[in-house]
Amino acid sequence: MRAGRIRGRRSGSGGDSVYLARIVGRVVSTQKQDTLQSIPLQWLQPVDAGGKDRGVPLVAADTFGLGPGELCYYITAREASIALWNLDVAVDAAVVGKVERIDLGEK
């Protein structure tokens, strides 16, 4: 499993993935698709479980109201619109939770 990726399983389906990220900024848009009018957009930097940057930054919809410096987990692809309770919204990534801490355990 790649660092920063968390695998989960739902009954009757294959694995679904969520990813870790740090919020590095807010995206301000005065004109956007109608279905995105009340949804804040955040600038995310994907990170590994140790908090080190990995990959390229991306924009994600955020219904939690998190701020810069906070850790979150997010999903991508079609599942991102499901997280916003609207299948017609045009998003590729959505924040689905705040990370309070990461316990890696002892090796």
Would 8 be classed as within a structural domain? Answer: no
Cα distance between residue 39 and residue 88, in whole Å:
14
Number of helices (H), then strands (E), belonging to the chain: the values are 1, 6
Q: How many domains is the chain partitioned into structurally?
A: 1
Q: Is residue 21 part of a domain?
A: yes
Task: Give the per-residue pLDDT at 12.
Answer: 35
* In a domain? residue 91: yes
Q: Is 7 a domain residue? A: no
Q: How far apart are CA 80 and CA 19, in angstroms?
A: 12
Q: What's the domain range around 48?
A: 17-98
What CA–CA distance (Å, rounded) separates 41 from 48? 22
Yes or no: say if 68 and 24 are a contact pair by the CB < 8 Å rule. yes
Residue at 105 is within a domain: no
Q: What is the pLDDT at residue 39?
A: 85
Q: Is residue 4 part of a domain?
A: no
Sequence-distant (6+) residues with CB within 8 A of 4 are 19, 20, 46, 47, 48, 49, 54, 55
Residue 59 lies in a domain: yes
Whether residue 104 lies inside any domain: the answer is: no
Q: Give me the mean pLDDT over the 37-45 stretch.
A: 90
Kindly report the CATH number assigned to the domain that includes residue 37: 2.40.50.220
In sequence order, what are the beta bridge partners of 93?
76
Chain segment 43-101, per-residue pLDDT in tens: 999 999 888 999 999 999 998 889 999 999 998 887 787 777 766 777 889 999 999 98
